[in-house]
Amino acid sequence: MKKIVLLLIILLAAYGSASADLLPDGKKKVSYNFRIENIDSYPDYSFLVYPVNVSNGIPVLHSYFVKDSSWIDIFCKFGSPALYIIKNSDLNKSALDSINSIGDNNTRANALREFFDSKKSLMTRSASINCTSYVERDAKYDVIQDELKIEKASGDSLVINNSKTFYKDKYGNILEAKDSKSGVRDDVVTPAASYTGYLLIILPVLALVLIVSIVLIRKMKKH
């Protein structure tokens, strides 16, 4: 019996420490994604995100191309990546692709560092991504979406501002939205967000009860 209790204590302790490693105390994990709304206006430039960690465990670093204005999901347990801009003519895309496809984590991380160091003079860096992976456990939202806008992009400067931030629940309802000028904007907040969740449960139950009732009434009528 003592052995079993001891085993349970060890298991609980191990579970506790493993959980603590994954999720900070009092926090919950949220998804973060961003998009650059006017990227199509800069066809002569390539936009890169680096370093992007794709793992929840040990860092697994990659670099992403921002190809269009669609949403890009990033995980940022180890900090926010930066946005880089470089002229298409100065960038060897296939070289960067081959570095990203390196299997070994350390080799890829070193190669990426070397690549970005070697292009330092040709690239402009912006710190405009404000990535968040953990928020207070009480927070109602599960997703943070940043809409970025390029104000100025040229060979020696990159100005990207955050134009809007959306806070959404897991169903995609906007719970809160902020823009860079006026703060909270009520007009884009989904007012029904609070009751949609209940509807998704109540409606099928109600429908099922009615369907079963119809079948039973038909059977009773037959008899």
Residues near another protein (CB under 8 A) = 31, 33, 70-71, 73, 143, 168, 170-173, 190-193, 195-196, 199-201, 203-204, 206-208, 210-211, 214-215
For the bound state, the minimum distance from the C-beta of residue 145 to another protein, rounded and expressed in Å, comes to: 8
Q: How far is the CB of 205 from another protein (least distance, A)?
A: 9
Q: Between 1 and 192, whose beta carbon lies closer to another protein?
A: 192
Tell me how far, at minimum, the Cβ of 139 lies from another protein, in Å. 15
* Calpha distance 74→121 (Å, rounded): 26
For residue 14, what are the CA distances in angstroms to 18, 24, 38? 6, 16, 48
8 Å CB contact between 139 and 156: no
Q: Which two tokens stand for residue 161?
A: 């501002």
**Pick from 108, 104, 84, 91: nearest CA to 36:** 84
Beta-strand runs (E) in the chain: 27-29, 31-36, 45-53, 61-66, 72-74, 82-87, 124-126, 134-136, 143-154, 157-168, 174-179, 183-184
Give the shortest CB-117-to-another protein separation in angstroms: 32
For another protein, the closer of residues 159 and 214 by Cβ is 214
Minimum distance between the CB of residue 100 and another protein, rounded to whole angstroms? 21
CA-based angle 87:33:140, to the nearest 5?
160
* Contact between 69 and 38 (Cβ < 8 Å): yes
Annotate 81-115 with DSSP letters as a single string.
Answer: -EEEEEEGGG--HHHHHHHHT-SSHHHHHHHHHHH
In angstroms, what CA-CA distances link 91 with 49, 102, 154?
14, 19, 15
Could you give the CA distance from residue 188 to residue 185 in angstroms, rounded to a whole number?
6
Q: How far is the CB of 94 from another protein (least distance, A)?
A: 25
Residue 92 beta carbon to another protein: minimum distance, rounded to whole angstroms: 28
